[in-house]
């Protein structure tokens, strides 16, 4: 299979048929084998019935149905796991992404890129609760991950299969795949894509999602920088904290010996004990993190590196 198109669906009964027709129309001139995998993320409307009817007449349309709503990331992960294409393209089911852009994303992949991220340069969403949070989030993600993209939140992307094989998705992690892929040497670029206003249904995402994205960003930053060496993070802060504790302890002794200030009345003594205790805690946390990291990689046989090519090797 050349291309797998993965579409998470949640209460989009008005959009499914039009999206299906648009995908077929866009894929016809490309001239390659493809499949469409729609994942019903626990819809409470008739979305599954609509998809089932379409799939009964077209073997290229494949359906996965969740028992309940697990979220967009889980729906994408299920679609990725079930896909068989060399290039995997996720997109939204709300008709705001344009299937006609698929050929352009695929062409970019054929130029040698591993990840092509869509950029909704002319985004048709509300300014206050969609565009502003997105601008802030994109700037923050780009700064902390070092992978500078204008639009991490755009679902329409193209991935080489091997890029996704080593990435497990949790929480809201689907938006961070380009950053996680770059950690393993993937070549990432972005491409301006069309974006249409929503005509049917209501958006499932709002400003309340920002906090979850920020928390997942902290996780991604840790995974990218310290997943195989947690002692480098916690140990460093432990050493700094212990040094600060010794400094406040020395100041406490100085004030006792030369300024005759009783130690039990000096708040610096409490601060010294607190800093020394926290420093030890940081170091112990780093050591426990090292043990967990080794258990994680060794028990599952996960490598700590990524190989792009092999010659004369199995």
Query: Do 44 and 113 sit in the same domain of this protein?
Result: yes
* DSSP run (H or E) holding 89: strand 87-90
Q: Which residue has the higher pLDDT, 136 or 150?
A: 150
Among 81-85, 143-147, 207-211, 256-260, the range scoring the smallest mean pLDDT is 207-211
Contacts of 302 (CB under 8 A, 6+ apart): 296
Structure tokens at 162: 């091997």
| Candidate from 125-129, 139-143, 259-263, 267-271 with smallest mean pLDDT | 125-129
Q: Considering only CA atoms, which of 31, 196, 175 is closest in space to residue 99? A: 196
* Residue 34 within a domain: yes
pLDDT class of 229 with cuts at 50, 70, 90: confident
Mean pLDDT of the 102-131 span? 88
The pLDDT value given to residue 205: 61
Whether 143 and 195 map to the same domain: the answer is yes
Name the residue among 126, 132, 124, 97 with its Cα closest to residue 12. Answer: 97
Whole-model pTM?
Answer: 0.78
**Lowest-pLDDT range, 35-39, 78-82, 212-216, 291-295?**
212-216
Give the pLDDT score at 238: 93
For the chain, the average pLDDT equals: 87
Structural contact between residues 37 and 51, judged by C-beta atoms closer than 8 angstroms: no
The residue with greater pLDDT, 124 or 7, is 7
| Per-position b or e across 277-298, b if 16+ CB within 10 A of its CB | ebbeebbebbeebbeebeeeee
The CA R_g of the chain, rounded to the nearest whole Å, is 25
Indicate if the pLDDT at residue 312 is higher than 60.
no
pLDDT of residue 218: 81
Structure tokens at 109: 């992949």
Q: Output the pLDDT for position 305.
A: 59
Provide the total of helices (H) and of strands (E) in the chain, helices listed first.
10, 7
Do 169 and 209 fall into the same domain? yes
Q: Has residue 313 been placed in a domain?
A: no
Asked if residue 179 belongs to a domain, the reply is: yes
What's the average model confidence in pLDDT over 221-235?
83
Domain edge (last residue) among 172, 196, 226: 226
Q: Which of 226, 245, 267 is the last residue of a domain?
A: 226
Residues 281 and 164 in one domain: no
Instruction: Assess if residue 161 is contained within a domain.
Output: yes
| Beta-ladder partners of 1 | none
Of these ranges, 79-88, 220-229, 286-295, the one predicted with the greatest mean pLDDT is 79-88
The reply to whether 91 and 198 lie within a common domain is yes
Range of the domain at 286: 230-299
Is 314 within the bounds of a domain? no
- In this prediction, residue 310 has a pLDDT band, given cuts at 50, 70 and 90, of low
Query: Is the pLDDT assigned to residue 207 strictly greater than 80?
Result: no
Domain count, the chain: 2
Q: What is the pLDDT of residue 309?
A: 58
Instruction: Let me know if residue 155 belongs to a domain.
Output: yes
What pLDDT, on the 0 to 100 scale, is given for residue 308?
Answer: 58
Q: What is the dihedral of CA 100, 104, 110, 112, to 10 degrees?
A: -140
The CATH number of the domain holding residue 86 is: 3.90.550.10
Under 8 Å between Cβ of 174 and 90: yes
Beta strands per DSSP E along 133-241: 157-160, 188-192
Angle at 69 between CA 25 and CA 127, to 5 degrees: 65
CB 33 within 8 A of CB 109: no
- The verdict on residue 292 lying in a domain is yes
User: Between residues 301 and 81, which one has the greater pLDDT?
Assistant: 81
| Shared domain check, 238 and 216 | no
In a domain, 311, yes or no: no
Statement to judge: residues 92 and 11 lie in one domain: yes
**3-48 pLDDT per residue, tens:** 999 999 999 999 999 999 999 999 999 889 999 999 999 999 999 9
Mean local confidence (pLDDT), 97-109: 95
Do 82 and 194 lie in one domain? The reply is yes
The verdict on 172 and 280 lying in the same domain is no
| Each residue's pLDDT tens digit, 192-201 | 999 988 887 6
Task: Give the model's confidence band at 227: pLDDT under 50 very low, under 70 low, under 90 confident, else very high.
Answer: confident
Phi, then psi, of 154 in degrees rounded to 5: -70, 120
Query: Of 166, 197, 226, which closes a domain?
Result: 226
Percent of the chain's residues with pLDDT above 70: 91
For residues 154 and 266, membership in a common domain is answered with: no
Residues 198 and 239 in one domain: no
Q: pLDDT value at position 135?
A: 84
Residues 114-128: what's their mean pLDDT? 86
Rounded-to-integer distance, Cα 36 and Cα 23, Å: 8
Among 85-99, 231-245, 252-266, 278-292, which is the least confidently predicted range? 252-266
Q: Do 213 and 137 lie in a common domain?
A: yes
């Amino acid at each position: 299979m050349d291309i797998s198109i993965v579409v998470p669906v949640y209460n989009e009964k008005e959009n499914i048929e039009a999206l299906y027709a648009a995908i077929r129309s866009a894929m016809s001139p490309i001239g390659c084998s493809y499949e469409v995998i729609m994942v019903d993320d626990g819809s409470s409307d008739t979305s599954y019935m609509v998809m089932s009817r379409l799939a009964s007449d077209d073997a290229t349309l494949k359906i996965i149905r969740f028992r309940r709503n697990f979220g967009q990331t889980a729906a994408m992960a299920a679609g990725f796991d079930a896909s068989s294409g060399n290039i995997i393209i996720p997109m939204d089911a709300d008709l705001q992404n344009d299937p006609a852009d698929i050929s352009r994303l695929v062409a970019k992949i054929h130029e040698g890129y591993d990840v092509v991220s869509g950029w909704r340069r002319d985004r048709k969403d509300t300014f206050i609760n969609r565009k502003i949070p997105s601008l802030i989030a994109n700037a923050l993600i780009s700064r902390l991950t070092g992978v500078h993209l204008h639009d991490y939140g755009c679902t329409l992307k193209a991935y080489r299969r091997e890029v996704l094989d080593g990435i497990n998705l949790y929480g809201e992690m689907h938006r961070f795949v380009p950053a996680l892929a770059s950690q393993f040497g993937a070549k990432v670029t972005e491409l301006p894509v069309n974006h249409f206003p929503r005509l049917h249904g209501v958006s499932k995402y709002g400003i309340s999602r920002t906090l979850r994205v920020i928390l997942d960003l902290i996780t991604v930053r840790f995974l990218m920088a310290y997943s195989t060496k947690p002692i480098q993070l916690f140990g460093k802060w432990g050493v700094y904290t212990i040094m600060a504790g010794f400094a406040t302890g020395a100041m406490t002794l100085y004030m006792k010996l030369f300024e005759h200030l009783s130690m039990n009345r000096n708040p610096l003594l409490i601060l010294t004990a607190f800093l020394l205790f926290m420093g030890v805690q940081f170091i112990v946390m780093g050591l426990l993190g090292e043990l967990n990291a080794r258990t994680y990689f060794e028990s599952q046989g996960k490598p700590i590196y990524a190989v792009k090519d092999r010659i004369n090797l199995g």
